[in-house]
Amino acid sequence: MMNRTEFYIVRHGETAANSRNVVQGQNDVPLNETGLAQAARLAERLKAVHFDAVYASDLSRAMRTARIIAPGAAVVPLPELREWNLGDWVGLPFGEVERRYPDEVAALREDRADFQISGGESKRQVYDRVSRCLAELAEREEGRRVLVVTHCGVIRAMLRFALGGVHSFPCVPEVGNTSLSRLICFDGRWQLGTWNDLSHLTMPSAPAGGY
């Protein structure tokens, strides 16, 4: 009988930086009121789901979201689940990033495999960090249901890993705030169960992306 390990993967709720389309990367920006409400709606949706383990990025926006969704759980913080280190972009409105770093923004939109952020991580570095973490969690939590709360860039890297390490997407997939995605591992073989499900929200969400 195959061992089924199920990951419920959630992007954190909205922050003030998300709402203003300001790049936050690994800056520790808290949830805003909308983000708290989004997390509460997802908590209501998932209240009947039992999680055997809960992990989150150690940044406060992810930890807070995880604690709202699973209030009785011991949330394990993992630095490996932090957002992409966006280096010199951090703190800038995305429009200013486009003006200062047009070639890098073009590489981001084209999802180039060799993309390197000025002063930050390359896409390959993010993928390697996240794929190692997800593989380790799948081994550690084999046969269990696991909640993981993290960030847009990390969730996209997880999707690449589950799809066999694809180098790029023809169109970068959307990841909304408090979106629910599911990845399922059967004895080391991965499949996508759900992607970017926002059906628990009745309010407008932050623009998809918004690292």
pLDDT averaged per 10 residues, the chain (length 211): 88 97 97 97 96 98 98 97 97 97 93 89 94 97 97 96 84 93 95 96 60 64
Identify the domain containing residue 76 by its residue range.
8-50+62-181+190-197
CB atoms within 10 A of CB 153: 23
- Residue 154 placed within a domain: yes
What pLDDT sits at residue 207?
Answer: 54
> Which candidate in 6, 12, 141, 151 is catalytic?
12
Annotated binding site for substrate: 11-18, 61
Domain total of the chain: 1
- Residue 97 placed within a domain: yes
Where residue 130 sits, what CATH number does that domain have? 3.40.50.1240
Contact 83, 59 (CB under 8 A): yes
- Residue 3 placed within a domain: no
What pLDDT sits at residue 169?
Answer: 79
Q: Which long-range contacts (C-beta less than 8 Å, at least 24 apart) are formed by 194-200?
A: 195/159, 199/45, 200/41, 200/42, 200/44, 200/45
What pLDDT sits at residue 80?
Answer: 98
SS3 label, residue 20: helix
What pLDDT sits at residue 35?
Answer: 97
Tell me which amino acid residue 187 is.
D
Our measurement of the distance from residue 148's CA atom to the centroid of its chain's CA atoms, rounded to an integer in Å, reads 9
Task: Judge whether 167 counts as a catalytic residue.
Answer: no
Task: Judge whether 98 counts as a catalytic residue.
Answer: no
Phi-psi category of 196—alpha, beta or left, where left has phi over 0 and alpha has psi -120 to 50?
A: left
- Residue 126 placed within a domain: yes
CB atoms within 10 A of CB 47: 10
- Residue 27 placed within a domain: yes
- Residue 204 placed within a domain: no
> Which candidate in 6, 83, 104, 121 is catalytic?
83
- Residue 73 placed within a domain: yes
Take residue 104 and report the two structure tokens written for it: 């890098």
What pLDDT sits at residue 135?
Answer: 97
pTM for the whole thing? 0.94
Alpha helices in 33-116 (DSSP H): 33-45, 60-69, 94-100, 102-110
- Residue 106 placed within a domain: yes
What pLDDT sits at residue 166?
Answer: 80
What pLDDT sits at residue 165?
Answer: 84
